[in-house]
Structure 1
Amino acid sequence: MTRKDGSYQGIQEMKSTVRATLAVAMLLVSLCARAEGSVTLYGVLDVGVDWENKAATAPGQTAASGSAVRMTSISAALPSRWGLRGKEELGGGFNAIFELENGFAPNTGGLQQGNRLFGRSAWVGLETPYGTFRAGRQINMTYIALLRSTVIGPALYSLASLDPYLPSARSDNALSYLAEFRHFVLGGTYSSGRDAAVATGSAAVNGGAAYNPGATNCPGNVAGSPTSCRQITALAGYWGPQFGLQFVYDDLRGGPGLLPGSVSFDPSMPLLLANSHQKTTRYMVSGYVQLAAVALRGGMIHRKTTTATDYQTNIFYGGASYMPAPDIELAGEVSRITTTDQKNANMYVMRATYLLSKRTSVYTMLGFMQNNSRASYSVGAGYFTVAGAKQTGVLLGLQEKF
């Protein structure tokens, strides 16, 4: 017997959407051969096996559950994804461009970024001699700057363990501009509604929002309130071949939630942002130096969340990578977080990568999180530990790019 209720209709609509999207994807792939590479299918498959001691099953535990062995789902060395990227020459130095990028969990095949089909990016744009313009869901200037200032990147053991917003710094309903003139760079994004995905949860917890950086319960555009769920990011800097320096401003606003009685929340932690006056602002200064086979990168990120009271954090990070041979890369990074309520911690990460080919690599990572008595940051981003834990993590992974 078939149910004719809302849930059934929702499932049918989802199936129709998936079928239509897959049909479009197949058509775009078939165009690759006809359009002389104007449409490119690309991706990363990256999965690892992670061991961590002093693991907890949920936040707030007072005693650890023991050690844990898990296959990675969010990220190992890099998040797994596939995408379609296109470019068409229009003449006069102008090009039409687009990108559709899907993030998925390699251990289950499930969708990431709030269960979205193209949750990593979905935009169309125009390249011009005066800069690049894009419209749609896209990464913002915080993410772009981070890629140039950390040697570890968005790995399981990384700055994501201290601030989960950083590897998820992207916005819905966004317009962007990025230009580089003789190595001087200027860019910005404006989102009229930073997140259009629902994070369902118990009404008694977080105003009905389940903690999920990929879906923060902040609706897209709110009628009558142009600043609700608005996000603005800006970047200015110098990207030279040997060294670079950059400054980033990132301001995201709260607003009414998508669920009855719910509100939006800060993607860096479950702090409610109940209206457009409540916000989180980040200031980042970071840079890099390239010395032959050695790369030095680092920076500082100050975050201030303004609600009924102010909550502030500071993250300091620095690292180096070295290639002793063309097929071997060694990297290490040290970071520290300090907060208003003294939840402070130090994190140490090392990674060794062996390139089996240009596209395939194997690697191992070692992470150590040193929490003080108030802090409970897990060495593995997205996992949990207990307050005061001195936690170790070991990761073995395999990566394939195409």
Structure 2
Amino acid sequence: MKLKALALGVALAFPMMASAQSSTSVTLYGIVDTGIEYVNNIAADRTGDETHSSTHFTNLTQSVPSRWGLRGTEDLGNGLKAVFTLESGFNAGTGTSGQGGRLFGRQAFVGLAGDWGQIAFGRQYNMLMRGMLGADFLGPNAYGLGSLDNYIPNTRMDNSITYMGNFSGFKFGAAYARGRDTVATGGPAATGCGVDFTDQSACSAYSAMLGYDAANWGIAGAYDVIRGSGDTVPTNWNGLLRDEKDRRWTINGYVKFDALKVSLLYLNRKNDAGIGNGWGDDLGDRSDLWSVAAAYQVSPAVTLDGSVNYIKYKDADESSKAWYYVARATYSFSKRTAVYGSAAYIRNSGLSALSAAGGTAPSPSPGVDNNQTAIMVGLRHSF
């Protein structure tokens, strides 16, 4: 009887001992960022002969997109830990959920991590975004590379598996998704291309990244492919058929000089379905994007950054390109609260009809072969 009681006591104590020895942490975090924007030359028709101006709140992103989330880790021993992230995007102006109305539309994954790297499962960023982090200083700013290619700040995948590793400065990542986006709402963050049980490759996505970061410089490259669905009529918002691909690759790098950081980025895109300008014109199936960016820490509280960007469409019906100029100033009251001002100017040529105001949807295009200016002031708080 005494032996049975002792065995029962050990059995009950063991899970409590294991719980006490394990180290678990969960963090609630977020950013609330809202900006008021002025945009001129908003076209009422393709030609831009009739234009309007507007002052409004941005509704896709500001200096960064508003979000809240939970992230956590548990120490499993022997250098192994469990990790998870649940991250929700929202529109601070209206309180509505972003990414097609999903609760955790930005990220929702669980994984294992160790000295060998991290493997994770769920809704995650692909390797194109991770391969551009070092050189794309403005990131998801309302006036950034997303204004020239709205896929760039929305490189997420449903139903994905990813691997990332960092070994003495060398970084490597790979990702694969089956049914890359299950929400059918039109827009850059949703493509309506879920799992097709009759075709293993339809609506899939894959990407890889390789790079190196030293103390004062870094270089990276990435390759990303998304596939379509539908035999004769596309069944996804991207307009890709089952055997068609939208492929991007990038090479980029950055250098630091004390308070100054400079970067150069190149992004090549080839879309088998063709690239449109939003007004029914054909821009061909390939674009080449160049970006030079700089960031300068004037003081602990003041940061100036900006970029000069150029995109050219190789096989458009007529020669088409755009120059895009961005400047931003940020003043930090504290580590958590900052105010900022941003300005952007775009000059379209040929059939290009890109908007300077990439953080607003629908995109307020100036029309074909026209220019546009956008100005924004805002407030950001992180927690």
| Post-superposition offset of 1:36 | 7.8
Change (3 A) 1:308 1:112: closer
| Post-superposition offset of 1:147 | 2.1
Take 2:372 and 2:274, find their aligned partners in 1: how far apart are those partners?
A: 33
- 1:43 pairs with 17, 25, 30, which one? 30
Look up the match of 2:207.
233
Look up the match of 1:311.
285
Aligned length: 347
Take 2:371 and 2:24, find their aligned partners in 1: how far apart are those partners?
A: 50
Say if 2:90 and 2:97, in contact at 8 Å, map to a contact too: yes
Take 2:334 and 2:374, find their aligned partners in 1: how far apart are those partners?
A: 27
Q: What letter is aligned with 2:349?
A: N
Structure-to-structure mapping, 1:318-329, within 5 angstroms: 318-329=292-303
Say if 1:376 and 1:384, in contact at 8 Å, map to a contact too: no
Q: What letter is aligned with 1:356?
A: F
Q: What letter is aligned with 2:157?
A: S
CA displacement, residues 276-306 of structure 1 (integer Å, 9 cap, x when unaligned)? x101111100111111111112210000011
Q: What letter is aligned with 1:291?
A: F
- 1:141 pairs with 127, 150, 164, which one? 127
Look up the match of 1:216.
191
Say if 1:327 and 1:356, in contact at 8 Å, map to a contact too: yes
| Post-superposition offset of 1:265 | 3.6
Change (3 A) 1:331 1:308: closer
Look up the match of 1:248.
222
Q: Which runs of 4+ in 1 moved over 4 A?
A: none
Take 1:256 and 1:121, find their aligned partners in 2: how far apart are those partners?
A: 27
Look up the match of 1:380.
357
- 2:52 pairs with 44, 66, 73, which one? 66
Normalised to the residue count of structure 2, the TM-score between the two structures is 0.87
| Post-superposition offset of 1:148 | 1.4
Say if 2:132 and 2:220, in contact at 8 Å, map to a contact too: no
CA displacement, residues 14-38 of structure 1 (integer Å, 9 cap, x when unaligned)? xxxxxxxxxxxxxxxxxxxxx9870
Change (3 A) 1:278 1:41: same
Change (3 A) 1:97 1:70: same
Structure 1 range deviating more: 340-349 or 161-170: 340-349
Q: Secondary structure at the match of 2:179?
A: coil
Take 2:96 and 2:154, find their aligned partners in 1: how far apart are those partners?
A: 17
Take 1:362 and 1:230, find their aligned partners in 2: how far apart are those partners?
A: 40
| Post-superposition offset of 1:400 | 0.3
Q: What letter is aligned with 1:384?
A: P
Take 2:39 and 2:24, find their aligned partners in 1: how far apart are those partners?
A: 44
Look up the match of 2:97.
111
Say if 2:184 and 2:236, in contact at 8 Å, map to a contact too: no
- 1:353 pairs with 330, 337, 351, which one? 330
Structure 1 range deviating more: 242-251 or 376-385: 376-385
| Post-superposition offset of 1:324 | 1.5
- 1:182 pairs with 151, 168, 179, which one? 168
Look up the match of 2:12.
none
Say if 1:233 and 1:250, in contact at 8 Å, map to a contact too: yes
Q: Secondary structure at the match of 2:219?
A: strand
Change (3 A) 1:95 1:37: closer
Question: Percent same amino acid at aligned positions?
Answer: 34
- 1:94 pairs with 68, 80, 83, which one? 80
CA displacement, residues 113-139 of structure 1 (integer Å, 9 cap, x when unaligned)? 111110000000111111100100001
The alignment yields a C-alpha RMSD, in angstroms, of 1.9
Q: Unpaired segments of 5 or more residues in structure 2?
A: 1-21, 276-283
Structure-to-structure mapping, 1:247-286, within 5 angstroms: 247-256=221-230, 263-266=235-238, 272-275=239-242, 277-286=243-252
